[in-house]
Amino acid sequence: MNGGPLDLLAQMGILAVTPGMVFMWVVAGLLLYLAIAKQFEPLLLLPIGFGILVANLPLTGLMEPGEGLIWRFYHYGLQWEVIPPVIFLGLGALTDFGPMLARPSLIFLGAGAQVGVYITFFVARLLGMTLPEAATTGIIGGADGPTTIYLATRLAPHMLGSCAVAAYSYMALVPIIQPPVMKLLTSQAERAIVMKKSRKVPKLERILFPIVATLVTVLVVPASAPLMVMFMLGNLFRESGVVERLSGAAQNELMNIVTIFLGLSVGATMNAATFLQPKVIFIFILGLLAFAVSTASGVLFAKFMNLFLKDKINPLIGAAGVSAVPMSARVVHQVGSEANKKNYLLMFAMGPNIAGVIGTILAAGVFLSMLK
Amino acid sequence: MAEEVLAPMVGKILKIKIKPGDAVQEDDEIIVMESMKLETSVHAPCSGVVKEIKVSEGDRVEEDDVLAVIE
């Protein structure tokens, strides 16, 4: 077997294809279809889909530890915990905390919607998942892609691909998952509530917020620091108004670049051996549960707050505590305007929406400090 | 009695569906704006005749800017 034609034949990938791989090609094709034809979170699902496809081609060595090209992206980007914090830098630069600062009580709604994360955690544990696996599954309910990826990499790397795909596909499905839950828990009259105008937030408050928020959150939950400090630094870039170039780089070029490596390497972790397990079905079912429970708890928490508030809030905005930014806020706005054409909830819903991001980072930090 | 149509939130004017002199009914969709990549309709606050339109398509507006006046 020395350079003969048989040798070449043995090196051809096509003979090493397994049925599991072919199944993964179908999964990859489905995600690529959803990304391209349906525009489901295409920025992530397209590179993830392609990553799945190429990771399931035999003999390529792309994910070979220490050698493979995509393995290097995965190792230095994700295992070294670089990419998710860098993405948060960009998200911070993109995020306007104004709607939340205008009505700080809305922060509680961002916390209320984390209930789904913890309930799912306990349900997953009862169903026989290990503690780290249950935590990783629960965090899907926070509807925050980079946080899910970050936690999965640290706690349950074998579930990374499935959890990321579940998180991003459910985020794309927010307009389908959330409205039935929201409508079930509210009356027509509640949905039609027009909220009182918010106050204008002065510039000084906007600049101080990322600094104060960093101090408060990191002193309470130190394990949340990597994501939190980058998120707040990005926001300080934005609000300070003096480093527009850095703010622009963080939210455009830098974020786009790392998104490529993130999607590709997350997809490439999904090979037939890790994906074709009964657990993966659990992840998808429980992830959906987490989304629905978070939506419900956010709405119920808003109704609870209304018992004490003079200026009633529209309970729909509680659903935006699920931190799919800005999808849940848009859904809230649409459901609200169906009930009352003069209802413009978008900006109000952005408050809990952004608070939800902070809530999910903290929830992940709590899991990390408990389980690491 | 003239009533002003105010921008419900910051955003961009995508489409203006009325012109001065048009008769509108309360709740008619008169302007489409875009805010955070979401298209939002602005509805007439009252029935009447459009007296004046203060913005044009593509304009950026702040919350509470006057978009049009209905009489």
A346 touches B: beta carbon within 8 Å: yes
At B39 the pLDDT is 82
Task: Tell me the pLDDT tens digit for each residue of A217-241.
Answer: 999 999 999 999 999 999 999 999 9
At B69 the pLDDT is 93
Start-to-end CA distance of chain B, whole Å, equals: 6
Does A1 score more than 60 pLDDT?
no
At B1 the pLDDT is 66
Task: Report the alpha-carbon distance of residue A211 to residue A232 in Å, rounded.
Answer: 7
User: Is residue A246 included in any domain, yes or no?
Assistant: no
Task: Tell me the pLDDT tens digit for each residue of A236-280.
Answer: 999 999 999 999 999 999 999 999 999 999 999 999 988 898 889
At A325 the pLDDT is 84
User: Is residue A175 included in any domain, yes or no?
Assistant: yes
At B36 the pLDDT is 73
Structural domain range at position B24: 3-70
Mean pLDDT rounded to a whole number for chain A:
93
> Which residues face B41 on adjacent strands?
B32
At A177 the pLDDT is 94
At A365 the pLDDT is 96
Tokens of A297: 């708890």
Q: How many separate domains does chain B show? A: 1
Q: How many separate domains does chain A show? A: 1
pTM for this entry: 0.90
Q: Do B64 and B11 form a contact (C-beta atoms < 8 A)?
A: no
User: Is residue A11 included in any domain, yes or no?
Assistant: no
Collect all residues of chain B within an 8 Å Cβ-Cβ radius of residue A194. Answer: none
Task: Report the alpha-carbon distance of residue B22 to residue A160 in Å, rounded.
Answer: 58
Q: Give Cα separations from A119 to A122, A155, A287, A319, A342 (angstroms).
A: 5, 18, 11, 16, 36
User: Is residue A231 included in any domain, yes or no?
Assistant: yes
Residues of B in CB contact (< 8 Å) with A are 8-10, 27, 35-38, 40-41, 43, 45, 63
Collect all residues of chain B within an 8 Å Cβ-Cβ radius of residue A330. Answer: 36, 38
Task: Tell me the pLDDT tens digit for each residue of B6-64.
Answer: 888 888 999 999 999 999 998 888 999 988 777 888 888 889 999 999 999 999 998 88
Task: Report the alpha-carbon distance of residue A27 to residue A361 in Å, rounded.
Answer: 29
Instruction: Tell me the mean pLDDT in the region A283-310.
Output: 94
Question: Would the ipTM clear 0.95, i.e. be above it?
Answer: no
Structural domain range at position A337: 82-240+277-371
> What CATH number has the domain bearing residue B33?
2.40.50.100
User: Is residue A156 included in any domain, yes or no?
Assistant: yes
Q: How far is B33 from chain A (nearest CA, A)?
A: 12
Q: Indicate which of B12, B37, B38 best probes the interface with A, i.e. most A CBs within 10 Å of its own CB.
A: B38
Q: Which of B8, B38, B41 is nearest residue A330 as measured by Cβ atoms?
A: B38
Q: How far is A327 from chain B (nearest CA, A)?
A: 9
Tokens of A172: 């794309």
